[in-house]
Amino acid sequence: MMNIDLEKCIGCGMCISDCFANDIKMIDGKASIRNITCFKCGHCIAVCPVNAVSTDEYNMDDVKEYNKNTFTVESENLLNFIKFRRTIRHFKDKKVEKEKILKIIEAGRFTETASNSQNVSYVVVENKIEELRKLTLESLNKIGKELLETSKNKLYLKYAKMWMGMYNKYISSPKEEDNLFFHAPLLIIVVSESIVNGSLASGSMELLTNSLGLGALFSGFFVKAAESNNEIRKFLGLKESQEIVSCMVIGYPDISFRRTVPRKTSEILFI
C-alpha cells in the first residue's frame, strides 16, 4: 500500500494534482490515498515536498533525494555519448565484475514500463555460454535449412547460408571463430510479456553498459534462434508468458574508436 504520514503532510495538494489514477483525496486538510485505482507509479513519493509518502510494497531504500550535481547530465555530452557508442564484436578475455552486472540490470529495473507493470526480467549467462551457443547454432542451422527450401527472399537466403556456415565451423572447430557471441564473457537476456517494456529497458541498460567502460552487441541471431525453441526456453528457465526481447552480449572492448560516424538525415514531419 501507499501510505501518507499525516504528521508530515502539509496539505499542499501536489500529490493530488500529479496522481494520474485520481486515487488521492484531500480529507480535513491532509492528503489521503485510497489504494483503489493506484498502480504504484510512485509519483506521489517523488513530488512530495516534505517526504510524507511511502510504500510498504517496495524497498524505500531505493529512494534518493534529488541532487542537481549528481542527477544532471549535460544534453550535449549525452548526445555525443549516444553518437559515439559502437556495437562491439571484439572482447578482451576478462570477466565482468558482478557489481557492474548488477548496475546494468538496475538501469533496466528503473526504466519506465506501461502502467507501471514492472514485468521485465533478466537472465544472466556466464558459466553456460558455450552450452547456449551450441543450442543457438543448432537452432539457426535448422532455420537456415528450412529457409533454403521455402524462401526466395535474397536477404533470408543470405542469412540462411551464413547460419549454416557458422554451425559447420562450430562443429569442426568449436573453440575457434565465434561469430555469434564473439567470445564475450557475459550475456544478459532481457525477457518480458511486453516487447515495448523490454526494449525500453534494453536501451537504458546499453547506455549504462557503455558508461562502465564495457561494450555490447544486441544479438538478433540469438533472438531469432530462440523463437518457438522450447529447448532454449527451458534452458533459460522462462515462464510461458515471457518472451525474449533482447540478448545483450557484453564484455570489455578489445578495440578503440576515435570518432563518431555519419548517419542518414532524419526524416521529420512537423505538423
* Mean per-residue pLDDT over the chain, rounded: 97
CATH of the domain at 217: 3.40.109.10
- Residue 184 and residue 246 in one domain: yes
Q: Are 15 and 53 part of one and the same domain?
A: yes
* 253 has a pLDDT exceeding 90: yes
Q: Mapping DSSP to helix (H, G, I), strand (E, B) and coil, where does residue 154 land?
A: helix
Burial pattern 175-202, b for ≥16 Cβ within 10 A else e, equals eeebebbbbbbbbbbbbbebeebbebbb
| Each residue's pLDDT tens digit, 105-146 | 999 999 999 999 999 999 999 999 999 999 999 999 999 999
- 240 assigned to some structural domain: yes
How many structural domains are present in the chain? 3
Read off the C-alpha cell for 253. 572492448
Same domain, 246 and 226: yes
Domain encompassing residue 144:
131-172
Contact 24, 15 (CB under 8 A): yes
CATH code, domain with 57? 3.30.70.20
**DSSP labels, 155-168:** HHHHHHHHHHHHHH
Say yes or no to pLDDT of 266 above 90.
yes
Q: Would residue 100 count as lying in a domain?
A: yes
Task: Return the number of other C-beta atoms located less than 10 Å from residue 108's C-beta.
Answer: 25
- State the DSSP code for 70: H
List the beta bridge partners of residue 55: 2
| Residue 106, number of CB atoms within 10 A of its CB | 14
| Chain segment 26-58, per-residue pLDDT in tens | 999 999 999 999 999 999 999 999 999 999 999
Indicate if the pLDDT at residue 3 is higher than 90: yes
Which helix (H) or strand (E) segment holds residue 216: the answer is strand 215-218
Residues 230 and 125 both lie in one domain: yes
Does one domain contain both 188 and 120?
Answer: yes
Strands 30-33 and 24-27: antiparallel
Q: Indicate if 121 and 237 belong to the same structural domain.
A: yes
Q: pLDDT tens-digit profile of 138-195? A: 999 999 999 999 999 999 999 999 999 999 999 999 999 899 999 999 999 999 999 9
Tell whether 122 and 29 lie within a shared domain.
Answer: no
